[in-house]
Chains A and B, each alone.
Chain A
């Protein structure tokens, strides 16, 4: 089975722009979660989707949004980019609900904002 895939792997954007990151979960997995990882703050939870519905959201501003499609693929959007948004963005999928399932992570998208 193919693992979790994330595209693009690397991205450089300018302050004020917007960006969309994509995540394809493991086949058959219905839950997708997004995390931001920075050296200063470590791993922080962004949001979780299950069957196209956002079930959980972390403490991030409204500039961070996401969605999940009927095939379980998910996208994350960040509008009006700030320098502090530079981070590794990780996506994880689980077979069923987040509560019970083991999470499998993708390789991440490295976003650099200049």
Chain B
């Protein structure tokens, strides 16, 4: 059964720093992996989708990498801004779970001005 762990659970950094959020999963048989952000009380916004055949994806200041064999993905945020404050969730789509997204608990990020 696929299990997803996100470390750290919470992170508070000053504005302008580059930072890395980690996601690990136990079953490497994934179809793809998606990163989302969620603002308090709101829905999820898709940030990046990485297919299992890809190593990384970039969108603006965000870069996500995927190492399927070791069961790891990282989300790199460059030059962080207060508007980046949110909870970040990773969700691999596991083949064994009938292609459901399996969710981590998220990393709550606070960027201090």
A interface residue numbers (CB < 8 A to B): 4, 6, 42-45, 48, 56, 58, 88, 90, 92, 98-100, 102-108, 110
Contacts and interface: CB of A to CB of B under 8 A. Distances in A.
Interface in B60-96: 89, 91, 93
Given A42-B103, A42-B105, A56-B98, A102 B42 contact: no
B18 interface: no
B47 to A, nearest CB: 10
Contacts of B101: 45, 103
Nearest to B51: A100
Interface residues of B, number: 21
A102 B34 contact: yes
A102 to B, nearest CB: 4
B89 A102 contact: no
B100 A99 contact: no
Contacts of B99: 56, 98-99
Contacts of A90: 43-44
The 5 closest A-B pairs by CB, nearest first: A105-B44, A43-B103, A107-B43, A105-B43, A102-B49
A44 B43 CA distance: 14
